[in-house]
């Protein structure tokens, strides 16, 4: 860098150097980011090029002092003194950094290259060239901080992702797994890192037959550079179990070369179950809507075949069949529509003070024709003295009707279904119950009977199951009113389905509640 390195001189120290006019012209013509210096063995500068003013703010005469005067207290400057001592022993040093004071009190960072100057075999001076790297170092530090922040942010995103993410190298060996991948697969990164991924998580097809690595879409991202998306396969956990998965595999390209692949995947067990439920629901709705339609058509044909004036025709009974079938169909459709509205938060309750006896009585009256057709009866036990409840009468009557319809399905012929109401929680709420004398509910099913699409065993062998909608509607409607609903078996036989509604404050009237949404 313009320095006469390692050349012995006959003259003493820096004065001999300054006599070389050509060298001085070169030194004094240095750019503003560089300056040349020379100091004697005692550390005092004997020469400095004029550009020192541009870098450190000192004039040349001001700077001709011991170099240690300009060092900041930064511990890194201990290395500067060590390097200088080695230079004075004749040991040539690689470039190193020095943190110095500017004349205005600010800090500058210099990169220094020093070379010992020898005369008659001994070191008589140290000459060097310094470059101001303050701005460069700050930029490097800012870039490093930005890189650290981006790396931390990327790591946070990867850790927070609900999808599993796995990285593999060009040989298909695992290099990275996020938290979701570890949780879904049961493997830790330390267990899989450096091992081939295919034999660990994708070794077999859904039917258990071997899955050749050459046929694997994940491997195709490495071998052919293709992007794959698959929704019909399974991935295998560490414990040997499997789960249906949707995954995509993409090659990682660097400078035109495939260096690995990234696989993102998710467990679609719940999605598959939902698809199965949707298929079942479609089948069930077609089947269950067909039943009342068949009754309507049969009743209407029988009524139409009865000649006018014939006293022995039971046209009234036929029309009753038509009516009850139509009511059942309407209830089913209403349950579906209102459940959808409640789950989306679009259904508003219009609550007002209602008498429990009025709600129970109206529901029982609506269901009595169906009960008579099935050879059963409905009994209401709701004292008139009970406190009023804050309720949307239309929704609550349907809740009770659905509970009665469920009880009629299980109650033995010739028995009564009981609808009752009683005060609870010190008068702050009213408990409604619908009871039957049927076989009851399996203990493991008691907490699930109000789940959407859940079906318990039919009341009698060969009897058709419910649709798993009526009781689910009841739960949503009761919770929309701020109440609770539950099921319990009776002794010695039967089942009781109960729910609560808050008692209305004295003087309360109509109130329109906000849109309700199903609880998750």
pLDDT surpasses 50 at 519: no
Domain residue ranges in the chain: 13-138, 162-267, 274-306+313-337, 346-516
Q: What is the pTM of this model?
A: 0.44
Which are the contacts of 220, defined by CB distance < 8 A and separation ≥ 6?
226, 228, 249
**Topology agreement, domain 274-306+313-337 and domain 346-516:** no
- Give the pLDDT confidence of 44-81 residue by residue, as tens digits: 999 998 889 999 999 999 999 999 999 999 999 999 99
Residue 267 has pLDDT above 70, yes or no: yes
How far apart (Å, rounded) are the C-alpha atoms in residues 307 and 192?
83
pLDDT value of position 234: 93
Q: Where are the alpha helices (DSSP H) in 374-420?
A: 393-410
Under 8 Å between Cβ of 385 and 453: no
Instruction: Output 369 or 331, whichever has higher pLDDT.
Output: 369
Coil, strand, or helix at residue 480?
helix
Q: Which of 31-35, 161-165, 480-484 has the lowest mean pLDDT?
A: 31-35
The pLDDT assigned to 270 comes to 84
What local confidence, expressed as pLDDT, does residue 483 receive?
93
> Residue 505 contacts by C-beta under 8 Å, 6 or more apart in sequence?
none
Q: Under CATH, to which class is 274-306+313-337 assigned? A: mainly alpha
The correct CATH number of 13-138 out of 3.40.640.10, 3.30.70.141, 3.20.20.80, 3.30.450.20 is 3.30.450.20
Residue range 162-267, CATH number: 3.30.450.20
Confidence at 237, pLDDT banded by 50, 70, 90: very high
Q: Find the mean pLDDT for residues 195-211.
A: 92
Number of Cβ atoms within 10 Å of the Cβ of 67 = 20
Q: What is the arithmetic mean of pLDDT over 7-34? A: 55
Residue 109 clears pLDDT 90, i.e. is over it: yes
* pLDDT at residue 146 in the model: 87
Which DSSP letter does residue 412 get?
P
Confidence at residue 516, expressed as pLDDT on a 0 to 100 scale: 45
pLDDT: which is higher, 3 or 158? 158
> Tens digits of per-residue pLDDT, 422-465?
998 788 999 999 999 998 888 888 888 888 767 666 444 444 45
Task: Identify the H or E element spanning 143.
Answer: helix 134-160
Two tokens, residue 114: 């020093």
Q: Which CATH class is domain 346-516?
A: alpha beta
> What integer is the mean pLDDT of 147-171?
84
3-class SS of residue 171: coil
Q: CB of 348 within 8 A of CB of 515? A: yes
- Cα(285)–Cα(508) distance, integer angstroms: 41
Mean pLDDT of the chain: 82
The rounded percent of the chain whose pLDDT value lies above 70 is 75
Helix and strand totals (H; E) in the chain: 15, 18
pLDDT tens by residue, 389-419: 999 998 899 899 989 988 998 899 899 999 9
Contact 440, 446 (CB under 8 A): no
pLDDT at 480: 85
304, two tokens: 């139409």
- 162 exposure class (CB count in 10 Å sphere: 0-12, 13-18, 19+): exposed
Residue 517 binned pLDDT confidence (cut-offs 50, 70, 90)? very low
What is the C-alpha to C-alpha distance for residues 264 and 249, in angstroms, rounded to an integer? Answer: 7
* 299-346: pLDDT as tens digits: 666 666 666 555 555 566 666 667 666 776 776 677 666 666 666 665
Residue-by-residue DSSP string for 229-296 = EEEEEEEE-TTS-EEEEEEEEEEEEETTEEEEEEEEEEE-HHHHHHHHHHHHHHHHHHHHHHHHHHHH
> What's the pLDDT score for residue 238?
93
Residue 155 to residue 179: CA distance in whole angstroms: 10
């Amino acid at each position: 860098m313009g320095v006469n390195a390692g050349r012995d001189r006959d003259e003493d120290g820096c004065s001999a150097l300054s006599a070389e006019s050509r060298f001085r012209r070169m030194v004094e013509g240095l750019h503003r980011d560089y300056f040349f210096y020379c100091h004697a063995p005692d550390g005092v500068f004997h020469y400095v090029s004029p550009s020192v003013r541009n870098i450190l703010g000192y004039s040349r005469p001001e700077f001709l002092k011991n170099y240690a005067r300009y060092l900041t207290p930064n511990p890194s400057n201990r290395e500067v003194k060590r390097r200088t001592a080695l230079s004075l022993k004749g040991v040539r040093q690689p470039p190193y950094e020095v943190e110095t004071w500017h004349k205005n009190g600010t800090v500058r960072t210099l990169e220094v290259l020093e070379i010992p100057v020898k005369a008659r075999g001994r070191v008589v001076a140290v000459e060097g060239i310094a470059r101001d790297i303050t701005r460069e170092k700050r930029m490097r530090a800012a870039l490093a901080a930005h890189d650290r922040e981006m790396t931390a942010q990327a790591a946070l995103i990867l850790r927070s992702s609900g999808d599993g993410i796995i990285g593999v190298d060009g040989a298909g060996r695992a290099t990275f797994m996020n938290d979701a991948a570890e949780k879904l697969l049961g493997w830790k990164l330390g267990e899989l890192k450096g091992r081939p991924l295919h034999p660990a998580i994708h070794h077999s097809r859904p039917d258990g037959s071997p899955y050749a690595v050459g046929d694997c879409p994940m491997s195709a991202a490495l071998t052919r550079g293709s992007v794959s998306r698959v929704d019909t396969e399974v991935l295998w956990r560490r414990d040997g179990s499997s789960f249906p998965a949707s995954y995509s595999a993409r090659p990682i390209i660097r400078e035109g070369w495939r260096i690995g692949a990234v696989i993102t995947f998710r467990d679609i067990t719940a999605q598959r179950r939902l698809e199965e439920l949707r298929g079942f629901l479609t089948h069930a709705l077609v089947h269950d809507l067909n039943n009342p339609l068949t009754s309507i058509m049969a009743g209407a044909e029988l009524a139409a075949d009865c000649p006018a004036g014939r006293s022995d025709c039971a046209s009234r009974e036929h029309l009753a069949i038509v009516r009850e079938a139509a009511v059942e169909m309407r209830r089913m459709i209403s349950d579906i529509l209102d459940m959808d509205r409640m789950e989306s938060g679009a259904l508003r309750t219009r609550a007002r003070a209602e008498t429990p006896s009025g709600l129970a009585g109206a529901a029982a009256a609506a269901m009595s024709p169906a009960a008579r057709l099935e050879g059963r009866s409905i009994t209401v036990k709701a004292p008139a003295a009970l406190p009023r409840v804050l309720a949307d009468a239309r929704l609550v009557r349907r809740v009770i009707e659905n509970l009665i319809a469920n009880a009629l399905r299980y109650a033995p012929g010739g028995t009564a279904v009981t609808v009752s109401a009683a005060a609870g929680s010190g008068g702050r709420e009213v408990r409604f119950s619908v009871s039957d004398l049927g076989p009851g509910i399996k203990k493991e099913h008691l907490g699930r009977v109000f789940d959407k699409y859940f079906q318990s065993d039919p009341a009698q062998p060969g009897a058709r199951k419910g649709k798993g909608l009526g009781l689910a509607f009841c739960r949503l409607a009761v919770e929309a009113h701020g109440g609770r609903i539950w099921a319990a078996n009776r002794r010695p036989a039967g089942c009781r389905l109960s729910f609560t509604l808050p008692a209305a404050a004295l003087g309360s009237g109509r109130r329109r509640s906000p849109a309700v949404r199903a609880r998750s």
